[in-house]
Chains A and B, each alone.
Chain A
Amino acid sequence: MTNHEKTSVSRRTFVKGSALAGLGAAAMGTASLFGCAPAAESTGELADTGEAVADTIVWTHCAVNCGSCCALQCHVQDGEIKYVESDNTGSAELGEPQLRACLRGRSIRRWLQSPDRLNKPLKRVGKRGEGKFEEISWEEALDTIASEMKRIRETYGDEAMTSHYSSGVCQGQVQANPVKRLLNLTGGFLNYYGSYSSAHISAAGTYTYGGGTYGSSFLTIQPGQLVVLFGDSPADTRMGGGGHTHDFAYIRETTDCRVITIDPRMTDTTCGQGGEWIPIRPGTDGALCAALAYEIINNGWADEEFLHTYCVGYDEETLPESAKGKNASYKDYILGTGPDATPKTPAWAAAITLIPEQRIIDLAREMHESDPVYIGQGYGPQRRANGEITARAIMVLPQLLGQIGKPGMNDGRREGCASVGLGMLPTGENPVTTNIPTFEWPNAILHGEELTALNAGVQGADKMSSSIKFIWNYAGNCLTNQHSDINLTHDILADESLVEFIVTSEVFMTDSAKYSDIIIPDLTSQEQISISSDGYSDNMIAVIFGAPVYEPKFERRGIYEVCADLAERLGVGDEFTEGKTREDWLREIYDEARTANAEKGMDMPTWDEGYAMGVWKMKPEPIVKLADFVEDPVANALPTPSGKIEIYSETLAGFEATWELAEDEVVTALPIYDPGFLGYEACTEEYPLQITGFHYKAHTHSSYANNEVIQTAAQHVAWVNPVDAEARGIKDGDTIRVFNDCGEIRIEAKVTPRVIPGNVSIPQGMWHDADMAGDRVDHGGCINTLTKYRPTPLAKANPQHSNIGQIAKA
């Protein structure tokens, strides 16, 4: 048993730790020793020898992509973290900001100090993707990278170079920026837009509100009101004390608001905290919204004054000239007087969503009767083949009810976020203007020259001029693990005639790193000086002042210094550094924000004061989204073409007319219900189940998924409803095969009523583990072995939850 072997290793320290703890600690010191390096406090702790052992407290922060960012206080002895505390400054009462790390941040010691860390530069010696490497010197690594950058750029042009989408280091003000700065100074690179998280809702926000994915703060919620969340679970996705889970828990407790979550899974947001779960068949939120709209309109609950003042396309009267006289309004679509002649009744939607007709009727009434009503969505409903149109459909509900712009209301987007406005290490100007949707990169490798604005959403140019030939993958696992269809992607990356050089900066041998020609060992954010804002939250604005927890170990090096060395080799050394160190840049970034915020009356500490504090925080005013626009829609017009909320988008009507789309790809002016490809209707006798992923407490995407102390406490299991399990003779705890045309994974079954029948739900992010030269069966249970590579119609984004398949006992 792997676990037992690992236990015996940690057991030795367990015994030692207990001896220390039994003797008790001396009083914790409070004097700050901070000078220009670590924010640290020394404490004296008695060891069993009776001698004092220096215990230094170093503040730092988690840096992965949960969206939030929490503080860590590392207790360090002899260059090793002994244990971690988090933010314990200020009041501990619920509602008072403390950036308390979640289980993942709390376990960072074993991740940072893992024997599996990458310690030396590596060069590929086998075939690409085979995972065979040998250690080389930094000199050789940098010389090779520099010469390949030069050769490939000269041979194929600037657009053949790219910095791959990644989010392993997603907090802190440096991230992958040194790589982009280096690429920009040497001619530029093919850029991307949209993320794997929110590209669809981002497009929906653009064509509805003129941009943005965030709505009102949870903290605006009023006593006793109704809150309806589509595919949004702060308890699963924003888990730290610095995240929305805290804000939401606080507001629920203090307002006793009624929470309804609409989701294929009963999430952790609807457990002990109460509320109601309305299970929905994955991908059918748009049908539910249409039926709710039917009830709202049919019962005369639509706020016509709001719709006529602020919105385009609700009815004939508010349609743009180009669309008049065609029964092309939203109201026509809903009531069945439009082209499809189908009234979107609750009975119609019940058959699609599997939500009982009466529950839909009642829900519409509850939404009408609650004033205000907070209607929001997470990123679950949109991360699908029909994601853009679904996100728009959800946004229409508060528009119909006129529930936008006042406290307790939300515009149908995700809960609001406050920001301290810290800048990033500047990347400089990119001489290449061509910008592709993030998810299009495999197509840009295979046939970049064929990608255009009309067939692939290319922006900044009508078409790409070359295919991708050079990839820098900084702290990312999106080459395979977090991308789609790993088996297909393996074949693309393994073909060395396509991408000619891949360099990865990493801290572990991830599945993506295996496809590199050179791997360079990075320092984590915790091992370097790093300041960070607090990420997504609405009850606080914060800055964490992080110092290196210990000196760099082995041959690991920070990305800024590495890129500075490469810049030197490429003749742009001075331009790259401008004579500044990483710390100099961070000081500059911080001082700029401090000065700008001072003008707004916000009193931030000086750099040195901040480092003495470890974390600085304040409570901002909660955001009521679109309040200005509702107050004065002329003076504060939205950045949409009409200046109003666009239920009907003329821009999208234009795309519909000009874009090259397959028959099952829908881009349309109205937010209608479109099942999208690989929805429930695509299910067959062979593949009768829908397979969806979800964000899971045991890891953030694939970050920390190799930290076994977390994985054993929160296990990687596929959620299967008892109805589906019994039909296949599957019992709780059985290892099952989950398979479809893309591939097969092995995973343990969790037989639970917390998932809707017909849907198997799998935590996304576990590490792919397959013999790619053999049967390719993924024993790691990575859901992206099963996900389809096919960009969505509008955002050209990842349809990650649109999958069909089958399960069987292994």
Chain B
Amino acid sequence: MQYGFHFNGQRCTGCKTCMLACKDFHDLGYDVAFRQVYEYGGGTWEKDAEGALSQDCFTYYVSVACNHCAKPVCVKVCPTGAMHKDDRGIVTVDGQRCIGCGYCALSCPYRAPKVDREAGHSAKCDLCADRLDAGKSPICVEACPLRALDFGEVGDLRARYGTVADLAPLPSASVTSPHVVITLPRCLEDEPSRAGTGEIQNRREIV
């Protein structure tokens, strides 16, 4: 049993409803987010002899939370065993055992775990485990106005959506073997040579 997410880059418009629904449901403050939305893009402008302008710009958004990886770095570096995978494959933290050292937060290339200093332990996306218990979807999946997020047993997701898990600016899937399936944005599908040629356009919004 292993749950994962599907992200559809051909539907996402970067509206951030997933992120804010998560913040609302988990009551997260201004500087904590269990789900991030990256704006990624590039391109340059040119002026022709007559003064008219041409450009080859592209932009897409990537919504990403914890990918409940097969090789979770956060679990590997945790000195107390607080960070662990449960029987549904959800990477989750045992608040009783966590000492709040922050190694998980520092090591995760997806920025998934955070340290709640006041509570004294780490906190992260748990796939809204309580909602799953009640037969519901994670709040982010249910929130997306364009149904760009899905979740489920990762084998089912891969059968339905394919096996792509690499999309800039996310780290290479080879690092942690994330349980995420990605439908590439149209602007990459149309021009694959754009892959990796841009940069994050909203660094200050990423927490």
Contacts from A to B (Cβ < 8 Å): 3-4, 6-8, 10-18, 21-28, 83-86, 88, 92-94, 100-104, 106-107, 109-110, 235, 239-241, 243, 245-246, 249, 253, 266, 268-269, 271-275, 277, 279, 347, 350-351, 353-357, 359, 697, 708-710, 712-715, 721-723, 733, 748, 750, 752-754, 756-757
Chain B contacts with A in 139-157, Cβ cutoff 8 A: 139, 142-147
Q: How far is the CA of A220 from the CA of B198 in the complex (A)?
A: 35
Indicate if B6 sits at the interface (CB-CB under 8 A).
Answer: no
- Shortest 9 CB-CB contacts between residues of A and residues of B: A274-B186, A272-B185, A17-B27, A241-B145, A235-B13, A7-B29, A272-B60, A103-B20, A10-B29
Residues of A within 8 A of B58 (CB): 271
Contact between B45 and A25, CB atoms less than 8 A apart: no
Residues of A within 8 A of B60 (CB): 271-272
Q: How far is the CA of A240 from the CA of B19 in the complex (A)?
A: 14
Indicate if B123 sits at the interface (CB-CB under 8 A).
Answer: yes
Q: How far is the CA of A733 from the CA of B203 in the complex (A)?
A: 9
Contact between A357 and B129, CB atoms less than 8 A apart: no
Indicate if B68 sits at the interface (CB-CB under 8 A).
Answer: no
Residues of A within 8 A of B131 (CB): 25
Residues of A within 8 A of B118 (CB): 8, 11-12, 14-15
Contact between B14 and A753, CB atoms less than 8 A apart: no
Closest to A277 in B: B57
Least distance between B70 CB and chain A CB atoms (Å): 24
- 16 residue pairs bridging A and B, Cβ less than 8 Å apart: A15-B116, A18-B26, A24-B129, A83-B24, A103-B19, A106-B21, A241-B146, A268-B14, A268-B61, A272-B9, A272-B186, A274-B185, A354-B53, A697-B14, A709-B20, A754-B41
Q: How far is the CA of A347 from the CA of B50 in the complex (A)?
A: 9
Indicate if B111 sits at the interface (CB-CB under 8 A).
Answer: no
Residues of B within 8 A of A241 (CB): 145-146
Residues of A within 8 A of B19 (CB): 103, 713
Interface size class of B (residues with CB under 8 A): 35 or more
Contact between A85 and B142, CB atoms less than 8 A apart: yes
Contact between A92 and B52, CB atoms less than 8 A apart: no
Choose the segment among B30-38, B77-85, B158-166, B171-179 that binds chain A (4+ C-beta atoms closer than 8 Å): B30-38
CB contact under 8 A between A357 and B11, given known A88-B142, A93-B147, A713-B33: no
Residues of B within 8 A of A733 (CB): 203-204
Q: How far is the CA of A103 from the CA of B189 in the complex (A)?
A: 28
Least distance between A513 CB and chain B CB atoms (Å): 25
Least distance between A475 CB and chain B CB atoms (Å): 23
Q: How far is the CA of A710 from the CA of B25 in the complex (A)?
A: 14
Q: How far is the CA of A10 from the CA of B27 in the complex (A)?
A: 8
Contacts from B to A (Cβ < 8 Å): 9-17, 19-21, 23-33, 37, 41-45, 48, 50-55, 57-61, 95, 116, 118-119, 123, 126, 128-131, 133-134, 136, 139, 142-147, 185-187, 189-190, 201-205, 207
Contact between A721 and B45, CB atoms less than 8 A apart: yes
Contact between B50 and A712, CB atoms less than 8 A apart: no
Q: How far is the CA of A104 from the CA of B33 in the complex (A)?
A: 16
Closest to B187 in A: A274
Contact between B52 and A253, CB atoms less than 8 A apart: no
Contact between B116 and A11, CB atoms less than 8 A apart: yes
B29 is contacted by which of A6, A22, A85, A354 (Cβ under 8 Å)?
Answer: A6
Residues of A within 8 A of B207 (CB): 712
Q: How far is the CA of A354 from the CA of B42 in the complex (A)?
A: 21
Residues of A within 8 A of B189 (CB): 274
A100 is contacted by which of B12, B13, B16, B143 (Cβ under 8 Å)?
Answer: B143
CB contact under 8 A between A24 and B27, given known A15-B119, A272-B187, A351-B51: no
Beyond A100-B145, A101-B17, A272-B12, 8 additional contacts (C-beta under 8 Å) are A12-B118, A14-B119, A18-B27, A94-B11, A106-B17, A245-B146, A271-B59, A712-B207
Residues of A within 8 A of B43 (CB): 753
Contact between B24 and A84, CB atoms less than 8 A apart: yes
CB contact under 8 A between A753 and B27, given known A102-B17, A273-B13: no
Residues of A within 8 A of B28 (CB): 10, 14
Contact between B201 and A752, CB atoms less than 8 A apart: yes
Contact between B145 and A239, CB atoms less than 8 A apart: yes
Closest to A27 in B: B134
Residues of A within 8 A of B31 (CB): 3-4, 7, 712
Q: How far is the CA of A723 from the CA of B20 in the complex (A)?
A: 33
Q: How far is the CA of A270 from the CA of B54 in the complex (A)?
A: 16
Q: How far is the CA of A708 from the CA of B59 in the complex (A)?
A: 26
Least distance between B56 CB and chain A CB atoms (Å): 9
Least distance between A732 CB and chain B CB atoms (Å): 8
CB contact under 8 A between A21 and B53, given known A723-B45, A753-B43: no
Residues of A within 8 A of B59 (CB): 266, 271-272, 754
Contact between A350 and B44, CB atoms less than 8 A apart: no
Q: How far is the CA of A110 from the CA of B204 in the complex (A)?
A: 22
Q: How far is the CA of A243 from the CA of B13 in the complex (A)?
A: 14
Closest to B144 in A: A100
A102 is contacted by which of B15, B37, B54 (Cβ under 8 Å)?
Answer: B15
Contact between B61 and A11, CB atoms less than 8 A apart: no
Residues of B within 8 A of A274 (CB): 10, 185-187, 189-190
Residues of B within 8 A of A11 (CB): 29, 116, 118
B27 is contacted by which of A14, A28, A350 (Cβ under 8 Å)?
Answer: A14
| Most chain B beta-carbon neighbours within 10 Å: one of A23, A94, A243 | A94
Q: How far is the CA of A680 from the CA of B163 in the complex (A)?
A: 49
CB contact under 8 A between A246 and B16, given known A6-B29, A12-B118: no
Closest to A280 in B: B53
Closest to B150 in A: A92
Contact between B41 and A709, CB atoms less than 8 A apart: no
Residues of B within 8 A of A88 (CB): 142
CB contact under 8 A between A714 and B16, given known A24-B130, A354-B52: yes
Residues of B within 8 A of A24 (CB): 129-130, 133
Residues of B within 8 A of A109 (CB): 24
Q: How far is the CA of A94 from the CA of B126 in the complex (A)?
A: 25
Contact between B130 and A753, CB atoms less than 8 A apart: no
Contact between B26 and A7, CB atoms less than 8 A apart: no
Q: How far is the CA of A269 from the CA of B59 in the complex (A)?
A: 10
Residues of A within 8 A of B12 (CB): 272
Residues of B within 8 A of A102 (CB): 15, 17, 145
CB contact under 8 A between A83 and B20, given known A15-B116, A271-B185, A356-B52: no
Q: How far is the CA of A403 from the CA of B118 in the complex (A)?
A: 63
Residues of B within 8 A of A249 (CB): 11, 13, 146
CB contact under 8 A between A753 and B41, given known A10-B29, A17-B27, A712-B30: yes
Contact between A269 and B13, CB atoms less than 8 A apart: yes
| Most chain B beta-carbon neighbours within 10 Å: one of A6, A15, A269 | A15
Contact between B143 and A25, CB atoms less than 8 A apart: no
Residues of A within 8 A of B44 (CB): 753
Closest to A14 in B: B27
A713 is contacted by which of B45, B134, B142, B205 (Cβ under 8 Å)?
Answer: B205
Contact between B30 and A7, CB atoms less than 8 A apart: yes
CB contact under 8 A between A92 and B29, given known A271-B61, A272-B12, A356-B52: no
Closest to A267 in B: B13
Closest to B9 in A: A272
Closest to A235 in B: B13
A271 is contacted by which of B14, B139, B205 (Cβ under 8 Å)?
Answer: B14
Contact between A107 and B20, CB atoms less than 8 A apart: yes
Least distance between B149 CB and chain A CB atoms (Å): 11
